[in-house]
Chain A
Amino acid sequence: MIDAVPDRPDEAAWLHARERRWLPVLAVFAVILFTTVGGYVAASLLATPAGPPVGFSGVVSVQPIAGWETAGPGTTEGHPYISLTRGIGTLVVVDWGPATDAESLSVDVVEGVLGAEFEQLSVSDELDTVTLADGTNGTRFRFVGVDPRSGGSIEGEVTVVVSPSGQGVVFIGLAPEGQLAFVDGDLRTMIDRAQVG
């Protein structure tokens, strides 16, 4: 309607301002882009290395990211491991020894380690396929169980890979049930960047 009205010198300037059509759309696009992917960019910038890499020589090397600390070595069901922690989150890296493939190693992990460490164990039905940054392929699944020492319910995510030389490596991410979501970003970042073999 504004175009149909004759110009008057006392009219407000905005009445006859040329309608910008592209600029506002580009601005909305920029806001949506920042809101949806900006968090991932910021998080990746915050995932800076902290301290020296940990692991087992010639088998696996994991670089802790900011906030994560080495919690010391140990063994589980005869397999040596090293762990990293940040608050409620824990990453256990197990040097499994010789293994044939990730799928059968996943079954061994459930029966040999998780079954021995947790009660009322419940494992996800699906086995996801993963590829680490160094190209190593593996499998990933989730579980829930009760820690018999604390009585607390634990939620975890297991990533199993086998190096080209046939060494099995098991990454077990742990947190109290319902809180794994708040550490799995860090866990996956460290696991995906691990050097296997």
Chain B
Amino acid sequence: MATMTPSVRRPPNRSLHRGRFFQPRQPAFWFYVVLVVLTGLVSVVEQNIYRGMSPGGWALSWLLLALYGLPVLVIVYSLDLYEREPISLVAAAFIWGAVAATTLSAVGNGGWGLTVARLGGPEFAARWTAALTAPFVEETLKGCGVVLIYLIARDEIDDVMDGFVYGAVCGLGFAIVEDVFYFMSVFGGQPAGVLQGFFLRVIASGLYSHVLYTGLVGMAVGVVVSRRATEPLRRRLAIAAGLCALAVFGHFLWNSPLLDLFPAEPWTGSDWLMIPIATAVKGMPLLVFVALAVFLARRRERRWLQDALSGEVGLDGISAAELDVLGSPSKRRAARRAMRTRAGSKAGSLLHRLQREQVNLAMVASRVPTAQDPALVRQRAYCRSLRDALGAMPGAASASSDFLERGDH
């Protein structure tokens, strides 16, 4: 059967994407590595102290935060409809947030907190330091991580959604390590305190935290670096400044004594119900805004895909029916499911590969100057070879045609 399968050879498209974190020719890579290693030493010492304080509480903290962090990571990663970001770069964004940004923020918050106390006095500082320091210090340092990811692999942030993914993942890393700090230092570190902290900081507040703020900062980076061809610099900077200001304001409001509906301690009975309401009052507006921004960014991505491939329909790379399926993530998944059911998992994987390469076809088509560009011709041929290989698999051709013809999916 293998001899019946047409040969499939990936075209040389390395120049299209750097697509990986390991970039020893980039100064940004080495800058990132040095900072993460140095701050990582501090983080290891810190985590050892927590572990020594209460091994059970420390392990429980990480277990609970893994239960929260993993689904959030998967959801954020999956938000990018067409071009999933390279795992190594996503991991680098997470590590920056978890290690470098947390450690550097502790230093920065201390210094700027001292400044607030000197300027406003201790009573003012007690009420306002968290609001006046952390939003600026932490968003700046997390944002620097997204900028470094861009400088390491410039072609990877080619849309606002890409910036959101890297920013949100960076914010998630930050939130997890910060939560461990709070569970161990502020909530006492014993399992009962850790559970209380988990309720307060994750169950009641987890939707509104650093993932949103840094997601917005990442979008700002995405706007500046990915819309050079369509927006003048001044407009891009204005949009980015607005997104960053909103992130900082959301963080400021969260940390400030404004709109503080938290019940007074010790909490009993209905107080525990009041806590999620209190956090929602502060965090829900920003969550709604970010959800709307992500929705618009995804719609923009969908439009981009349709525009980029409209000239390719009917050529070797993609058919009209395939484009219809490609434009909808749910239809893509359904097509793969149908293919797996009718022709086996290998056929499902091959269809997945074809869909991915058709998205790459859109990227090539949007970047090359002419429809006869050799890179575009190669990518079309590659898609066609994948389709031919798929068609040669028993049951795949009928599964594909049935699915595409059915139309409503």
Q: List A contacts of B15 (CB < 8 A).
A: 1-4
Report the stretch among B87-95, B144-152, B308-316, B331-339 that lies at the interface: B144-152
A sample of 20 more A-B contacts (CB under 8 A), given A28-B147, A28-B151, is A1-B367, A5-B369, A5-B373, A31-B144, A32-B104, A36-B107, A38-B111, A39-B112, A39-B113, A42-B112, A43-B114, A43-B115, A47-B118, A67-B118, A87-B122, A87-B123, A185-B113, A185-B114, A185-B118, A186-B118
Residue of A nearest to B155 (CB): A1
Interface residues of B in 125-161 (CB under 8 A from A): 125-126, 129, 133, 136-137, 140-141, 144, 147-148, 151, 154-155
Q: Are B122 and A40 in contact (CB under 8 A)?
A: no
- Interchain CA distance A121-B35 in the complex, whole Å: 42
Q: Are A86 and B28 in contact (CB under 8 A)?
A: no
11 pairs, CB–CB < 8 Å, chain A vs chain B: A12-B229, A14-B229, A28-B148, A28-B151, A35-B141, A37-B107, A37-B111, A42-B115, A65-B118, A88-B122, A182-B117
With beta carbons under 8 angstroms apart, the residue of B122, B129, B144 that contacts A28 is: B144
CB contact under 8 A between A32 and B111, given known A5-B368, A86-B122: no
Q: List B contacts of A39 (CB < 8 A).
A: 108-115, 133, 137
Q: Tell whether A25 is near chain B: CB-to-CB under 8 Å.
A: yes
Q: Tell me how far the C-beta of A10 lies from the nearest C-beta in chain B, rounded to whole angstroms.
A: 9
Report the stretch among A16-24, A99-107, A158-166 that lies at the interface: A16-24
Q: List B contacts of A24 (CB < 8 A).
A: 28, 147, 151
Q: List B contacts of A92 (CB < 8 A).
A: none
- Interchain CA distance A144-B395 in the complex, whole Å: 76
Q: Tell whether A8 is near chain B: CB-to-CB under 8 Å.
A: yes
Q: Tell whether B375 is near chain A: CB-to-CB under 8 Å.
A: yes
Q: Tell whether B291 is near chain A: CB-to-CB under 8 Å.
A: no
CB contact under 8 A between A4 and B375, given known A35-B140, A39-B111, A43-B111: yes
- Interchain CA distance A24-B122 in the complex, whole Å: 38
Q: List B contacts of A19 (CB < 8 A).
A: 154
Interface string of A160-193 (1 = CB under 8 A from B): 0000000000000001000101110110000000
Q: Tell whether A127 is near chain B: CB-to-CB under 8 Å.
A: no
Q: Tell me how far the C-beta of A47 lies from the nearest C-beta in chain B, rounded to whole angstroms.
A: 7
Residue of A nearest to B369 (CB): A8
Give chain B's interface residues, CB within 8 Å of chain A: 13, 15-16, 26-28, 31, 35, 104, 107-115, 117-119, 121-123, 125-126, 129, 133, 136-137, 140-141, 144, 147-148, 151, 154-155, 228-229, 364, 367-369, 373, 375
Q: List B contacts of A5 (CB < 8 A).
A: 367-369, 373, 375
Q: Are B125 and A25 in contact (CB under 8 A)?
A: no
Q: List A contacts of B133 (CB < 8 A).
A: 39
Q: List B contacts of A12 (CB < 8 A).
A: 228-229
Q: Tell me how far the C-beta of A9 lies from the nearest C-beta in chain B, rounded to whole angstroms.
A: 11
Q: Are A179 and B122 in contact (CB under 8 A)?
A: yes
Q: List A contacts of B28 (CB < 8 A).
A: 21, 24-25, 28
Q: Are B111 and A1 in contact (CB under 8 A)?
A: no
Q: Tell me how far the C-beta of B132 lies from the nearest C-beta in chain A, rounded to whole angstroms.
A: 11
Q: Tell whether A66 is near chain B: CB-to-CB under 8 Å.
A: yes
Q: Tell me how far the C-beta of A104 lies from the nearest C-beta in chain B, rounded to whole angstroms.
A: 29
**Which 9 pairs show the lowest CB-CB distances between chains A and B?**
A39-B111, A39-B112, A43-B114, A40-B111, A182-B125, A185-B114, A46-B118, A1-B15, A36-B108
With beta carbons under 8 angstroms apart, the residue of A22, A67, A181 that contacts B121 is: A67
Q: Are A11 and B369 in contact (CB under 8 A)?
A: yes
Residue of B nearest to A181 (CB): B113
Residue of B nearest to A65 (CB): B118
Q: Tell whether A138 is near chain B: CB-to-CB under 8 Å.
A: no
Residue of B nearest to A4 (CB): B15
- Interchain CA distance A136-B155 in the complex, whole Å: 57
With beta carbons under 8 angstroms apart, the residue of B35, B117, B155 that contacts A186 is: B117
Q: Are B112 and A66 in contact (CB under 8 A)?
A: no
- Interchain CA distance A2-B31 in the complex, whole Å: 25
- Interchain CA distance A179-B119 in the complex, whole Å: 16
Q: Are A1 and B375 in contact (CB under 8 A)?
A: yes
Q: From B108, B109, B141, B373, name the one whose CB has the most chain A CB atoms within 10 angstroms.
A: B108
Q: List B contacts of A21 (CB < 8 A).
A: 26-28, 151
Residue of A nearest to B129 (CB): A182
Interface residues of A in 98-133 (CB under 8 A from B): none
Q: List B contacts of A29 (CB < 8 A).
A: 31
- Interchain CA distance A21-B123 in the complex, whole Å: 46
Q: Tell me how far the C-beta of A156 lies from the nearest C-beta in chain B, rounded to whole angstroms.
A: 14
Q: List A contacts of B141 (CB < 8 A).
A: 32, 35-36
Q: From B118, B140, B147, B155, name the one whose CB has the most chain A CB atoms within 10 angstroms.
A: B118
Q: Tell whether A145 is near chain B: CB-to-CB under 8 Å.
A: no
- Interchain CA distance A172-B312 in the complex, whole Å: 77
- Interchain CA distance A43-B116 in the complex, whole Å: 8
